Amino acid sequence: MEVTLFIHAADDAFRILENAKVQAVGLLDTATRLTSETRWMEEKKVQAILKGAQATRSGLQNFVATFVMLMGFWALLSGKFDVFHLSLGVICSLIVAYLSHDLLFANVRVGDGRVIAQRFLRYIPWLLYEIVTANFYVAYLALSPKMPIDPQIIRFKTKLESDISWVTLANSITLTPGTITIDIQDREFMVHALDKKVAGDLDTGEMEDQVAHIFMEADHIYIQDVLDVSRIFAELKRGM
Amino acid sequence: MNEFFVAVGLGMCLLVFLVLYRVIFGPGVFNRIAAISAIGTKTLIILLVLGYVYNRVDMFIDISMVYALLNFIGCIAAAKYLEMER
Amino acid sequence: MIISSDDIIIKTIARIFVPFIQLYALYVIMHGHYSPGGGFQGGVILGASLALLLITHGYDEMRRRIPEGVVILLGSVGVLIYAGIGLTCLLLGGNYLDYSQLSVILHVDPAHARSLGILGVELGVGFTVMAIMYSIFFDISTGGILPSDEKRSEEWGDNE
């Protein structure tokens, strides 16, 4: 008697588990479909925001921002703060800002300047630490008697979008001893590395992540991560 | 403190002489351009050290900034000329 | 013929640096009597900044920014400032370029008037030097090909 009750209970339990598994698989299906649809719409929305934000950064805002930076630079250069020299500084900054106001801030989105500046100031000590450690390694390579270098050229595609971030990444790679950026040809970097170890340090992509964090780019790549994970779940589901 | 700066300056001069080998014997013109650019960066440090020795740093900072500028523009101009020549 | 290079690193760096180079050149002109500098040195740095823009951004961009007529006009304006200050001193009763006579116009004592007079003259020298250096660099680097020749070769089709 107890055995049949037990068998009925186990049967019910297994049926409940079966239903739960079917429902979970259904939910995963809808989630995958929704993310692939919404990813396209999210891309469109982000592009619209970027275009709109670029359009509203007018010439006047560029002019004022350039004027402020140039005035700061003048105050740094000239140690005299009396009225005559400051008025000279204001006139010179006005002339230079008028002549070249579309040069300095061509691609920056509105309202992002302060955040980018803060994050850039926090990036510099990390870069200095990387340079110092790579210095020791390259000095060891160059001073050992048989000089075990293995020069190679690496190509990699980058996930950064604007040209300032490309230039920042290229300069950071060149400043770090052992690697030199040769060329950038539409999002593909060509880097000459001295040894396998420095090439491996570059391949982890840590510097690229840091630069993307400064300029707040490649944020929507996380949707791609969700899609990859859902594909792995689909593989597991088929095997269940 | 003066002796330390003089020693640093002499060390930099020694490094300049080491790079001068590439300027004279470098096979081809690209080696020579890269070596001249490297000598330029050493020259900046030597100028600043001279400024500390003569106790007039502010004057020498202006001079070294101008030299850094001209080194940069000269290197780019030479590279552009050689690119067009091919 | 310098076409715009497609090297994005040099283009971006040049475009960020040029305002700072120009401000530094104006600083060198203005502080001529305190630190090494003066009119000619500042003019050379200004001309070098324009040459940097020309090398990295090509002809068409630079012709759009600074037409060649404006460059020659700037050079003449510099000479005008120099000679004008000298003649003003002459008309006010002193010798040519005797800046202490300017204290009548500017209502400062003669020592200050001398300082301001030299500043104005250095400014004129700076403008002229910048204009002429950029103009010479531009003309030599075209290689003798005038804009009318380029247009004609475009219309007739290049047979090179």
The answer to whether position A52 is within a domain reads: no
Spell out the long-range contacts of C24-27 with Cβ–Cβ below 8 A and sequence spacing 24 or more. C24/A73, C24/A77, C24/B65, C24/B69, C25/C49, C25/C126, C25/C130, C26/A92, C26/A95, C26/A96, C27/A74, C27/A77, C27/A78, C27/A92
pLDDT of residue A49: 57
3-state secondary structure of A147: coil
- The range of the structural domain enclosing residue A134 comes to 113-215
Structural domains counted in chain C: 1
pLDDT of residue C25: 93
The answer to whether position A180 is within a domain reads: yes
Residue burial B9-46, b: 16+ Cβ < 10 Å; e: rest: beebeeebeebeebbeeeeeeeebbbbbbbbbebbbbb
Range of lowest pLDDT (A3-12, A62-71, C138-147)? C138-147
Asked if the C-beta of C26 comes within 8 angstroms of chain B's C-beta atoms, the answer is: no
C51-72 pLDDT, tens digit per residue, is 999 988 888 888 888 888 899 9
Say what percent of chain B tops pLDDT 70.
98
- From chain C, pick out residues whose CB is under 8 angstroms from the CB of B70: 48
Name the average pLDDT for chain A. 81
Residue of A nearest to C16 (CA): A104
Predicted confidence band of residue A175 (pLDDT cuts 50, 70, 90): very high
C22 vs A10: CA distance, rounded Å: 84
- Which residue shows structure tokens 């010439």? A59
- From chain B, pick out residues whose CB is under 8 angstroms from the CB of C36: 59, 62-63
Residue A55 reports pLDDT greater than 60: no
pLDDT of residue A48: 62
Residue burial C83-117, b: 16+ Cβ < 10 Å; e: rest: eebbebbeeeeeeebbbbbbbeeeeeeeebbbebb
What is this structure's pTM?
0.78
What integer is the mean pLDDT of C138-158? 73
The answer to whether position A25 is within a domain reads: no
Structural domains counted in chain A: 1
pLDDT of residue C4: 66
Could you give the angle at the alpha carbon of A171 between the alpha carbons of A169 and A176, nearest 5°? 95
Asked if the C-beta of A164 comes within 8 angstroms of chain C's C-beta atoms, the answer is: yes
Say what percent of chain A tops pLDDT 70.
82
- The range of the structural domain enclosing residue B24 comes to 2-85
* Position with higher pLDDT, A40 vs B67: B67
A159 vs A209: CA distance, rounded Å: 9
Cβ-Cβ pairs closer than 8 A, B with C, add up to 32
Residue of C nearest to A171 (CA): C9
Residue burial C49-66, b: 16+ Cβ < 10 Å; e: rest: bbbbbbbbbbbeebeebb
Say what percent of chain A tops pLDDT 90.
17
A172 vs A126: CA distance, rounded Å: 11
**Phi and psi dihedrals of C9, rounded to 5?**
-70, -50
Residue B86 reports pLDDT greater than 70: no
What integer is the mean pLDDT of A148-174? 88
CA dihedral C89, C93, C95, C100 (to 10 degrees): -60
With beta carbons less than 8 A apart as the criterion, state whether A191 and A173 touch. yes
Touching C: A residues 170-229, CB under 8 Å: 170-171, 181, 183-184
With beta carbons less than 8 A apart as the criterion, state whether C19 and A100 touch. yes
pLDDT of residue A56: 47
The answer to whether position C137 is within a domain reads: yes
What are the structure tokens assigned to A200, written together? 């491996």
Which of A92, A96, A164 faces C30 most closely, judged by CB atoms?
A92
A232 vs A237: CA distance, rounded Å: 9
pLDDT of residue A24: 81
C132 vs C58: CA distance, rounded Å: 19
What strands lie across the sheet with A152-157, from one edge to the other? A152-157, A188-193, A179-185
Which of A74, A106, A163 faces C23 most closely, judged by CB atoms?
A74
Predicted confidence band of residue A99 (pLDDT cuts 50, 70, 90): confident
What integer is the mean pLDDT of A194-200? 87
The answer to whether position A32 is within a domain reads: no
Residue of B nearest to C33 (CA): B59
Structural domains counted in chain B: 1
The answer to whether position A17 is within a domain reads: no
Which of C8, C27, C30 faces A167 most closely, judged by CB atoms?
C8
Residue B77 reports pLDDT greater than 80: yes
With beta carbons less than 8 A apart as the criterion, state whether A151 and A194 touch. yes
Asked if the C-beta of C35 comes within 8 angstroms of chain B's C-beta atoms, the answer is: yes
Residue A4 reports pLDDT greater than 70: yes
pLDDT of residue A193: 92
Residue B39 reports pLDDT greater than 90: yes
What integer is the mean pLDDT of A22-38? 77
For residue C149, the one-letter residue type is: D
Name the average pLDDT for chain C. 85
The answer to whether position C2 is within a domain reads: no
Predicted confidence band of residue A85 (pLDDT cuts 50, 70, 90): confident
Range of lowest pLDDT (A18-27, A214-223, B29-38)? A214-223
- From chain C, pick out residues whose CB is under 8 angstroms from the CB of B69: 21, 24, 45, 48
The answer to whether position A50 is within a domain reads: no
The answer to whether position C18 is within a domain reads: yes
Q: Which residues contact C92 (CB under 8 A, 6 or more apart)?
A: C101, C102, C104, C105
The answer to whether position A28 is within a domain reads: no
- From chain C, pick out residues whose CB is under 8 angstroms from the CB of A166: 8-9, 12
Test mutation, C6, C10, C12, chain A, max A CBs within 10 A: C12
Touching B: C residues 38-57, CB under 8 Å: 41, 45, 48, 51-52, 55-56
Cβ-Cβ pairs closer than 8 A, A with C, add up to 56
Say what percent of chain C tops pLDDT 70.
91
What integer is the mean pLDDT of A46-54? 56
The answer to whether position A141 is within a domain reads: yes
Range of lowest pLDDT (A36-40, C25-29, C126-130)? A36-40
A226-239 pLDDT, tens digit per residue, is 666 777 777 777 76
Residue C126 reports pLDDT greater than 70: yes
Phi-psi region of B28 (alpha: psi -120 to 50; beta: other; left: phi over 0): left
For residue B54, the one-letter residue type is: Y
A108-145 pLDDT, tens digit per residue, is 655 567 778 888 899 999 999 999 999 999 999 989 88
Contact A183 C16 (CB under 8 A): no
